[in-house]
Amino acid sequence: MESRSVRRKIVLGVALLFAVVALVALDQWTKGLAASLLAGRGTIRLLGDFAVLVYISNRGAFLSLGSGLPELARNVFLIALPIAAIPFLVWALLKRGIGGAVGDGEAKSVGWAEYSSAALVVAGGVGNLIDRVFLGEVRDFLNFGIGKLRTGIMNLADLYILFALIVIACALASRSLRARRAAPPGSSSLSA
C-alpha cells in the first residue's frame, strides 16, 4: 500500500511539473509574439469588441497594482514573495494531496480541481516572475469584455490564475452542495 502511494505521488508530481513547464512555455511564447507583433501597433479588435489585443509593459501586478511603489518594495512584493510562495504551494499540495492530511479524524485528499488549479497558479506565477526578473516588467496584451464592462489588460499567466480561481470556486460550491444533499433532513450544515 505504501509503494502505491509513493508511486502515485511521483506520477502526480511529474504530471504537475510537465503541466507547469508547458503552460509557462506557452505564456512566454505568446508574450514574445505580442512584443514583436503588437508593440506600437495600437489596438486590434477581435470578435467585434469582445477581445482586444493591445501591448503594454506593466511594472506592477494585475491592473498595475503596486507599480507606483518604490523599487525595493515592488521587488519584495512582486518577486521575493512569489519566489518563496510558489515552492511552498507545490510542497503543501503534494504533501496534503497524496497521503491525505489528517483533519477532523479523517484523511482529506486533494482532488483534480486543486491539482489543476495549483498547476495554473504556479505556471501563472512563474510566467510573470520570468518577465519581472529578466525584463523588470510584465508583458500584457489581452483585454476582454462587452461594452464598458472589461477586464484589465492581461496575459496568459494572468488568465491561468483567473481560471484557477474559477475552478476552485466551482469545486467549493459543488462540494458544499453535495454536503447539503448528504446531510440528514432537518440537520444544519453548520456545526459547533
Position 72 in a domain: yes
64 pLDDT more than 80: no
Position 95 in a domain: yes
What average pLDDT does the chain have? Answer: 83
Position 182 in a domain: no
Considering the chain, what percentage of its residues have pLDDT values greater than 90? 40
Q: Quick one: pLDDT at residue 184?
A: 76
Per residue in 116-170, pLDDT tens?
Answer: 888 899 999 999 999 999 999 999 999 999 988 999 899 999 999 999 989 888 8
Mean pLDDT of 59-77: 80
Position 143 in a domain: yes
Domain span at 33:
2-175
Q: Quick one: pLDDT at residue 33?
A: 96
* Number of domain units in the chain: 1
* Sequence-separated (6 or more) residues with CB below 8 Å from residue 8: 98
Q: Quick one: pLDDT at residue 93?
A: 66
Alpha helices in the chain, H assignment, sequence order = 2-38, 71-75, 81-99, 112-135, 156-182
Position 16 in a domain: yes
The DSSP element (H or E) to which 103 belongs, if any, is strand 101-103
Residues 57 and 152: their CA atoms lie apart, in Å, by 13
* Sequence-separated (6 or more) residues with CB below 8 Å from residue 113: 167, 168, 170, 171
Q: Quick one: pLDDT at residue 96?
A: 62
Q: Quick one: pLDDT at residue 38?
A: 95
Mean pLDDT of 25-52: 94
Position 181 in a domain: no
Position 53 in a domain: yes
Least confident of 51-65, 141-155, 171-185: 171-185
Position 185 in a domain: no
104 pLDDT more than 90: no
Residues 68 and 1: their CA atoms lie apart, in Å, by 54
